[in-house]
Amino acid sequence: MSENKLERLEEELEKYEKRLVRMQKNWAATKSGSRYGEEYLGIQIKVYEQMVMGLKEEILKLKKL
């Protein structure tokens, strides 16, 4: 059961890390654009960073079991 959960979490982590990298690139490319767009992407990046950290912590806990 935990192996299946671990695999699913690792797949989610990979997906969110890819999205985070893409958002960071977009944010860097559009930084000179509208202030609203910059703030919105900045907030999204922070949310995804927290999600990635949470997934990494959960994966570490499962691996210790």
- pLDDT of 9 reads 94
The two structure tokens encoding residue 60: 């570490």
CB 49 within 8 A of CB 19: no
Question: Residue 55: how many CB atoms within 10 A of its CB?
Answer: 19
**pLDDT tens, position by position, 6-63:** 999 999 999 999 999 998 888 777 766 667 677 888 899 999 999 999 999 999 998 8
What is residue 33's three-state secondary structure?
coil
CB 32 within 8 A of CB 41: no
Whose CA is closest to 7, among 42, 55, 64, 52? 55
Question: Residue 10: how many CB atoms within 10 A of its CB?
Answer: 14
Domain boundaries, the chain: 2-64
